[in-house]
A and B are shown apart, each in its own frame.
Chain A
Amino acid sequence: DAGVIQSPRHEVTEMGQEVTLRCKPISGHDYLFWYRQTMMRGLELLIYFNNNVPIDDSGMPEDRFSAKMPNASFSTLKIQPSEPRDSAVYFCASTTGTGLSYEQYFGPGTRLTVT
């Protein structure tokens, strides 16, 4: 398996623009997580899905952030409009709900820079 795939790996955009980050989870995994990592706040869980349904979005910072999972193999995290304080590395992770090991598999991340 190729692991969790994220695109793009790097994104540079101007303030006010829309940004869309993409994630393909590991085949067969029914949980998908979006995290944000910054120096100031560390690793934060933004939202997670189970069987394509959003379960907990309490970590989404503002209404400017939205996430979707239209099918089991694809998810997007959208920021509209983007702001400089959104600059961070965004990680997607997936796992299977069977068993209790909770191990999550992380993608390589998308480094977002908003100027």
Chain B
Amino acid sequence: AQSVTQLDSHVSVSEGTPVLLRCNYSSSYSPSLFWYVQHPNKGLQLLLKYTSAATLVKGINGFEAEFKKSETSFHLTKPSAHMSDAAEYFCVVAGGYNKLIFGAGTRLAVHP
């Protein structure tokens, strides 16, 4: 069965510093993995996706994630945080039959 674990429920960074949001996955086959972002009182928006092509995936707003099979990880990074990055981030694995399995979410706070 497929699952994801987001290792941090809250992450706090200063504006201009790097962002690292951690995600480990479990999958019985080569997974499709996603990061979604949810800004306050908004719906979910796709940041980026991995579907067995390049292991380093670039997304919107300067985010990227690296698929590491040996570590079963798919961590999300950004070199320099912006105030507008404050949101909740979800790591997601495809669960078959077009279903998505969501992690519990990581709330990112960005301080001036």
Contacts and interface: CB of A to CB of B under 8 A. Distances in A.
Instruction: Place the interface of chain B in its size category.
Output: 20 to 34
A97 B98 contact: yes
A80 B36 CA distance: 31
B109 interface: no
Contacts of A43: 90, 102, 105
B97 A56 contact: yes
A103 B90 contact: no
B34 A91 contact: no
Contacts of B98: 31, 48, 50, 95, 97, 102
Contacts of B34: 102-103
Interface of B: 32, 34, 36, 41-46, 49, 51, 90, 94, 97-100, 102, 104-105
Interface of A: 4, 31, 33, 42-43, 45, 48, 50, 55-56, 91, 93, 95, 97, 100-109, 111
